[in-house]
Amino acid sequence: MLMASSKVSYYVLLCFGIVAVSVSTFFAIGDDTVQPIRLVINASEASARQIPDTLFGIFFEEINHAGAGGIWAELVSNRGFEAGGPNTPSNIYPWSIIGDESSISVSTDRSSCFDRNKVALRMEVLCDSRDNNVCPTGEVGIYNPGFWGMNIEEGKAYKVTLFVRSLGEIDVSVSLTDSRGLKKLATASIISSDVSNWSKMEVLLTATETNHNSRLQLTTSKKGVIWFDQVSAMPVETYKGHGFRNDLVQMMADLKPRFIRFPGGCFVEGEWLRNAFRWKETIGPWEQRPGHFGDVWMYWTDDGLGYFEFLQLAEDLGAAPVWVFNNGISHQDQVDTSNISPFVQEALDSIEFARGDPNSTWGSVRAAMGHPQPFDLKYVALGNEDCGKKNYRGNYVKIYNALKRAYPDIKIISNCDGSSVKLDHPADYYDFHIYTSANQMFSMAHKFDKTSRTGPKAFVSEYAVTGSDAGTGSLLAAIAEAGFLIGLEKNSDIVEMASYAPLFVNTNDRRWNPDAIVFNSSHLYGTPSYWMQQFFAASSGATLLDTTLGANSSSLIASSIIWKNADDNNYYLRIKIVNFGSNNVNLKISVNNLNGYSIRKSGSSQTVLTSANLMDENSLNNPKKVLPLKASLNTAAENMDVVIVSHSITSFDLLIESNTIRMPGSHHQFSTSAI
C-alpha cells in the first residue's frame, strides 16, 4: 500500500505543477531493505552493435475508417454516389434530401461522364421561386454529413469541387452548415446558363465559425433537372499540401517511423478477390477512380487515398515504403498458380509505377500525377497472412522470381514465419505477427533469442496486446509491448523491422481493439501503446550496448543505446527499463568502459510512463490520463541508485560529452562538446 500511495502522490504533484523536488528524489522512494538489482551497461566498442536503420516503423491499414474519414482529408463520404454499387437505383447513403416529395425527387442513373464510375445523381426540382409551387424557405437539394460530421473551423478555407450537368440554367448554393442545415458557416453560388455537358465546378469556402459536426449542402430554388457527380470537399491546408489530415499525420510523424507498411493487412486480400485492393484502380485523377467496397472491414472507400498517395505519404514522412500487394489470394477464394501470370504482371507494373523512368509505361502515369522523380521503393510484401493457403507458395515463387529478374535489389517479404523453422522458399524477410495477452507478450521478448542468424531477416509487422488485458488501449498492454520491443532491440541483428497494429481507429467505426491513435472528425489522442512507441523512436540506426540485469529480475527487462538527438545535435546514452511487476525495484545502474567520455548531469533527463491503475486508458474526454512524464535528471552519473516504480516504462537519457571521441560501433570521429 505504501508503494501505491507513493506513486499516486507523485502524480498528484505533477498534475498541479508543483514538483519542487528533483527527479532523483522520486526515484529514491522505495524499500531500502530490499536487495537492489544490478544493471550493468558495457559501453565498450567491442561489445556494441549498430541497430538497423529500419527497426521501428508504422503499419497503416484501411481499417476502422483509418483512411476514408481518417488521414485522408476528404470530407465527403460517397462523393461519387457509387457506394451502393454500379447498378441503379443505388443507395446514396449518407447523402440525404432537403425538401419533400412535392418539391424534389432524387434518383441515380448511369449517365456520368466517367467510364469507370458511371453512377451519377439526378435531382429533379419540382418547385420554383416564382410558380404556384414555391420552394420552401432555405431551398431544396441534397446534403452530405461526411464521416459522422465534418469538422469545419473558423477562418479556414475549404475547396469544394463537383461535376454538374443540366439541360437548363442552374443556380446552386454550395454551403457548409451546422448539422441541421439551419446555420450557414460558409456559402457560395454556382450560376451558369450552359452546363448541357458535364462541367467541373470549383468554389472556395472560408468558414465564419467553428462547428465539429457540420455538413455540405447543394441547394436551389430553380425548377429543373440537375445531375451531380464526384462532389468533393477538402480543407485547403493539408499535411505538406498532399491531401492528408494534418493532426493525424503529425501523430505518425512524431513516432519518427523509418518505414510505413501499407495498405494492409486484410484490406489487401479482401474477403473475396473481387473486393481486394487493386492498385491500378486507385491511381490517376481522383474523380475517375471507381472506388471499391472493402468487404473485410465492411465499408466503402472512394480510393482517394490510393497507391500514389501512400507512396507520397511515405516520402513526406521520410519513411521507406513497404508495399503489400495481392498475390491472387483472398480470404475466400484464390487463383491457381497455373493462372497467376496476370498477378505477376500487376506486381511488376506496380514497381514500375513507383520506380520507373518518367518515360516508361507506368512511370509516365506517375509523372503525370505530379511526381516525375521515382519513389524510393525497396520493400514489397507478397500478400498478407496467406502462408497456409493452398496456392501461396506456388504463387509466391512465381512472383518472387519475376520481381528479382526485373529488380534484383528489391527486398521481398514472405508471409511464412521463419523464426523457428527454416523457410522452404527464398525470401529477404519473413513476416511475423503476434496478438496475445500481456503476460505472453512480455515473455515474447525472448522469442528471437535462439532464432537462426543465417536465414532471412524477421519483419514483425503486426504486434499488439489484445483481449481483456488491452481494453481499448490500457497501460498494461503498453508495458508488455515495451518489454517485447526491448527484446526486438536486443535481437536486431535478425529482426530488422517492427510495427504496431492497428495504427488508427475512428471512434464511430471500431472494427478492432485496441489501436494506437483514436480520433473522430475533430479530436484525437494516443493510447498508452502509442506513447510507448515514442520510447523507441530514437532506436533505429542507434548503437546498441551490451546490457545485463542481475539476478531476481524476472519482471524487468532493459536495453541501452547511444543515439544522436537531431534537435540539439548532442549524443545521449538512453537506458530503457520496463518493470512488468507489481513492486517497485531498487536498481543500481553502472555504466562501464566509457573510455574517455563522460556523462553530464546538466542536460540529462528521465521519462516515465505509468499511472495509478494498471488498466488506465486515455479517452477523448481525458486524452492525457496516461502520458510519458519527462523531467531533468540532475543525478546523472556513471553509477546511479534509482527506484523503478511498478508497472512502468522508464527511460534515462544521459548526455554524453567529450572533446573528440569515437563512439562505440561508429566508424568516424565526432565532437559532442556540450554547451
pLDDT for 510 equals 97
Q: What is the CATH number of the domain that holds 157?
A: 2.60.120.260
Same domain assignment for residues 196 and 264: no
For the segment 187-216, what is each residue's pLDDT rounded down to a tens digit?
Answer: 999 999 999 999 999 999 999 999 999 999
pLDDT for 28 equals 33
How sure is the predictor about 672, in pLDDT bands with cuts at 50, 70 and 90?
very low
pLDDT for 324 equals 98
- For residue 418, what is its C-alpha cell? 521463419
In a 3-state reduction of DSSP, which class is residue 196? coil
For the segment 550-580, what is each residue's pLDDT rounded down to a tens digit?
Answer: 987 899 999 999 999 999 999 999 999 999 9
CB 84 within 8 A of CB 292: no
CB 280 within 8 A of CB 343: no
For the segment 586-609, what is each residue's pLDDT rounded down to a tens digit?
Answer: 999 999 998 878 898 889 999 999
Same domain assignment for residues 203 and 248: no
In a 3-state reduction of DSSP, which class is residue 669? strand
| Residue 565 in domain | no
Which is nearest to 63 in space by CA: 384, 280, 347, 289?
384
- For residue 353, what is its C-alpha cell? 509505377
pLDDT for 662 equals 52
Number of folded domains in the chain? 2
For the segment 270-328, what is each residue's pLDDT rounded down to a tens digit?
Answer: 999 999 999 999 999 999 999 999 999 999 999 999 999 999 999 999 999 999 999 99
For the segment 344-383, what is each residue's pLDDT rounded down to a tens digit?
Answer: 999 999 999 999 999 999 999 999 999 999 999 999 999 9
Q: Which residues, in sequence order, are CB contacts of 396 under 8 Å at separation 6+?
A: 327, 382, 383, 414, 415, 425
Residue 486 phi/psi, 5-degree rounding, is -60, -40
Query: Measured between alpha carbons, how far is 242 from 313 in angstroms, rounded to an integer?
Result: 8
Q: What is the CATH number of the domain that holds 392?
A: 3.20.20.80
Query: Measured between alpha carbons, how far is 477 from 470 in angstroms, rounded to an integer?
Result: 5
**pLDDT above 50 for 143:** yes
- For residue 53, what is its C-alpha cell? 536503420
| Residue 483 in domain | no
Same domain assignment for residues 213 and 346: no
In a 3-state reduction of DSSP, which class is residue 141? strand
CB 149 within 8 A of CB 179: yes
| Residue 659 in domain | no
Q: Tell me the whole-structure pTM to 2 decimals.
A: 0.92
Helices of type H across 491-603? 528-534
Neighbours of 622 (CB within 10 A): 11
pLDDT for 588 equals 96
Same domain assignment for residues 271 and 334: yes
Which is nearest to 277 in space by CA: 298, 299, 306, 304?
306
Average pLDDT, the chain: 92
Query: Measured between alpha carbons, how far is 447 from 441 in angstroms, rounded to an integer?
Result: 10
- Percent of the chain at pLDDT above 90? 87
Average pLDDT for residues 644-658, to the nearest whole number? 94
Same domain assignment for residues 349 and 323: yes
Go through the chain and tell me how many residues it has: 675
**pLDDT above 60 for 14:** no
| Residue 548 in domain | no
Average pLDDT for residues 21-36, to the nearest whole number? 43
Place of cell 441547394: 219
First to last CA, the chain: 44
Average pLDDT for residues 116-144, to the nearest whole number? 91
Same domain assignment for residues 309 and 458: yes
pLDDT for 355 equals 98
Same domain assignment for residues 315 and 394: yes
| Residue 145 in domain | yes
Query: Measured between alpha carbons, how far is 277 from 50 in angstroms, rounded to an integer?
Result: 37
Domain end position, chosen among 235, 251, 277: 235
Give the pairing type, strands 120-125 and 224-235. Answer: antiparallel
Segment (H or E) for 247: helix 246-253
Domain end position, chosen among 185, 210, 235: 235
Same domain assignment for residues 399 and 309: yes
For the segment 456-494, what is each residue's pLDDT rounded down to a tens digit?
Answer: 999 999 999 999 999 999 999 999 999 999 999 999 999
Burial (CB < 10 A; 0-12, 13-18, 19+), residue 339, is exposed
Same domain assignment for residues 117 and 230: yes
Single-letter amino acid code for the residue at 675: I
| Residue 32 in domain | no
DSSP class of residue 279? G
Place of cell 522520486: 26
Domain end position, chosen among 220, 235, 250: 235
pLDDT for 34 equals 64
**pLDDT above 70 for 10:** no
Name the residue with higher pLDDT: 1 or 621.
621
Residue 536 belongs to domain spanning: 57-72+239-428+439-462+488-511+532-542
How many alpha carbons fall within 13 Å on the CB side of residue 381?
30
Q: Which residues, in sequence order, are CB contacts of 631 under 8 Å at separation 6+?
A: 19, 23, 605, 606, 607
pLDDT for 553 equals 83
Same domain assignment for residues 197 and 280: no
| Residue 559 in domain | no
Going 52 to 55 to 61 to 66, the CA torsion angle's sign is negative
**pLDDT above 50 for 27:** no
- For residue 551, what is its C-alpha cell? 539476478
How sure is the predictor about 179, in pLDDT bands with cuts at 50, 70 and 90?
very high
Same domain assignment for residues 231 and 246: no
Lowest mean pLDDT among 30-44, 129-143, 388-402, 558-572: 30-44
pLDDT for 133 equals 84
| Residue 202 in domain | yes
Going 276 to 279 to 281 to 282, the CA torsion angle's sign is positive
Query: Measured between alpha carbons, how far is 181 from 138 in angstroms, rounded to an integer?
Result: 9
Same domain assignment for residues 444 and 389: yes
